A and B are shown apart, each in its own frame.
Chain A
Amino acid sequence: MNAEDSLYNPQQARIIGKRKLTDDTKLFELELENGDRLNQDPGQFVELSIPGVGEAPISVTSSPTRGLPSFELCVRAVGNVTNALHERSIGSTVGIRGPYGEGFPTEELQGHDLLFIAGGLGIAPLRSLINYVLDKRDKYNDVNILYGCKRPCEQMFEDEVNHWARRQDIYHEATVDFCPDNVCWDGNIGVITQLIPGVDIDLENTYAVVCGPPVMYKFVLEELDKKELPHEHIYLSLERRMKCGLGKCGHCQINGAEEVLYACQDGPVFNYDRVKGFEEAV
Chain B
Amino acid sequence: MKAINKSDFSKFVDDLIENDEREVVGVQSKSNEFAFDPLRSAEDLRLDYDVTILPPKKYFMPQRETLVEYNLDEGNTTPVNQVVPRIIMGIHPYDLVAIEQMDKVFEDTHEDPHYLEKRRQSVLVGVNMNSVSDWSFAHTMGTATTDTGYDLMLTDIGDRYAVEVGSSKGSNLLEKAGNAVEDITPEGIKKVKKFKEELPKKFRKDPQFDPFELPSMLKNYYGKDEFWEEHAEDCLSCGTCNLVCPTCYCFDVQDVNDLSLEEGERLRTWDGCMLEAFAEVAGDENFREEKAGRYRHRYMRKGRYMYNRFGDIACVGCGRCSEQCLPDIADPVEVFNDMKEGTS
The answer to whether A246 and B79 have CB atoms under 8 Å apart is: no
Q: How distant is the Cα of A271 from the Cα of B223 in the complex, in angstroms?
A: 22
Check B310 for interface membership: any CB of A closer than 8 A.
no
Q: How distant is the Cα of A3 from the Cα of B249 in the complex, in angstroms?
A: 24
Check B251 for interface membership: any CB of A closer than 8 A.
yes
A-B interface pairs (CB < 8 A), number: 146
Q: How distant is the Cα of A80 from the Cα of B253 in the complex, in angstroms?
A: 13
Check A257 for interface membership: any CB of B closer than 8 A.
yes
Between A56, A251, A256, A257, the greatest number of chain B beta carbons within 10 A of the residue's beta carbon is seen for A251
Check A112 for interface membership: any CB of B closer than 8 A.
no
Check B238 for interface membership: any CB of A closer than 8 A.
no
The answer to whether A259 and B304 have CB atoms under 8 Å apart is: yes
- Decide yes or no: A250 and B271 within 8 Å by CB, A52-B257, A82-B282 being known contacts: yes
Interface members, chain B 77-118 (any A CB < 8 Å): 77-81, 105-106, 108-110, 112-114
Q: How distant is the Cα of A244 from the Cα of B106 in the complex, in angstroms?
A: 13
Q: Which of B127-135, B177-185, B272-280 contacts A (4 or more CB under 8 A)?
A: B272-280
User: B305 is contacted by which of A12, A249, A255 (Cβ under 8 Å)?
Assistant: A255
User: A253 is contacted by which of B108, B110, B297 (Cβ under 8 Å)?
Assistant: B297
The answer to whether A51 and B71 have CB atoms under 8 Å apart is: yes
The answer to whether A1 and B77 have CB atoms under 8 Å apart is: no
The answer to whether A241 and B75 have CB atoms under 8 Å apart is: no
Check A231 for interface membership: any CB of B closer than 8 A.
no
Check A66 for interface membership: any CB of B closer than 8 A.
no
User: A244 is contacted by which of B108, B253, B305 (Cβ under 8 Å)?
Assistant: B253
Q: Which residues of B contact A8 (CB under 8 A)?
A: 67-68, 79, 114, 253, 266, 268
- Proximity string of chain B (272-313) to chain A, C-beta cutoff 8 Å, 1 when within and 0 when not: 010000111111010110000100110011001100100000
- Decide yes or no: A250 and B253 within 8 Å by CB, A8-B266, A12-B75, A51-B264 being known contacts: no
Q: How distant is the Cα of A28 from the Cα of B71 in the complex, in angstroms?
A: 23
The answer to whether A248 and B251 have CB atoms under 8 Å apart is: yes
The answer to whether A6 and B67 have CB atoms under 8 Å apart is: yes
Check A9 for interface membership: any CB of B closer than 8 A.
yes
Q: What is the size, in residues, of chain A's interface with B at 8 Å between Cβ atoms?
A: 50
Distance between B139 CB and nearest chain A CB, rounded to angstroms: 28
The answer to whether B300 and A6 have CB atoms under 8 Å apart is: no
User: A51 is contacted by which of B77, B222, B278 (Cβ under 8 Å)?
Assistant: B77
Which residue of chain A has the shortest Cβ distance to B79 in the bound complex? A6
Q: Which residues of A contact B257 (CB under 8 A)?
A: 52
Check A141 for interface membership: any CB of B closer than 8 A.
no
Q: How distant is the Cα of A6 from the Cα of B293 in the complex, in angstroms?
A: 34
Which residue of chain A has the shortest Cβ distance to B82 in the bound complex? A1
Contact-residue size bin, chain B (C-beta under 8 Å from the other chain)? 35 or more
The answer to whether B70 and A51 have CB atoms under 8 Å apart is: yes
Check B72 for interface membership: any CB of A closer than 8 A.
yes
Q: How distant is the Cα of A253 from the Cα of B250 in the complex, in angstroms?
A: 11
User: A241 is contacted by which of B67, B108, B281 (Cβ under 8 Å)?
Assistant: B281
User: A1 is contacted by which of B79, B254, B285, B296 (Cβ under 8 Å)?
Assistant: B79
User: A6 is contacted by which of B68, B253, B287 (Cβ under 8 Å)?
Assistant: B68
User: A240 is contacted by which of B77, B81, B251, B281 (Cβ under 8 Å)?
Assistant: B281
The answer to whether B105 and A248 have CB atoms under 8 Å apart is: yes
Q: Which residues of A contact B75 (CB under 8 A)?
A: 12, 51, 92-95
The answer to whether B279 and A241 have CB atoms under 8 Å apart is: yes
Distance between A274 CB and nearest chain B CB, rounded to angstroms: 15
Q: Which residues of A contact B301 (CB under 8 A)?
A: 260
Q: How distant is the Cα of A246 from the Cα of B112 in the complex, in angstroms?
A: 9
Interface members, chain B 25-47 (any A CB < 8 Å): none
Check A10 for interface membership: any CB of B closer than 8 A.
yes
- Decide yes or no: A214 and B255 within 8 Å by CB, A1-B81, A259-B308, A265-B109 being known contacts: no
- Decide yes or no: A258 and B219 within 8 Å by CB, A3-B79, A251-B250 being known contacts: yes
For this complex, 24 residue pairs linking A to B, each with C-beta atoms less than 8 Å apart, are: A1-B113, A6-B68, A7-B112, A8-B114, A9-B78, A10-B68, A12-B75, A12-B76, A51-B264, A54-B253, A94-B75, A239-B281, A241-B279, A241-B287, A246-B109, A247-B108, A248-B112, A249-B252, A250-B250, A251-B279, A253-B297, A256-B222, A259-B308, A279-B222
**What is the interface of chain A, defined by CB distance below 8 A to chain B?**
1-3, 5-10, 12, 49, 51-56, 76, 78-80, 82, 92-95, 213-214, 239-241, 243-244, 246-251, 253-260, 265, 279-280
Starting from the known contacts A251-B250, A258-B219, 13 additional A-B residue pairs (CB-CB under 8 Å) come to: A1-B81, A8-B79, A54-B255, A244-B253, A247-B108, A248-B106, A248-B112, A251-B252, A251-B271, A255-B296, A257-B222, A279-B222, A280-B293
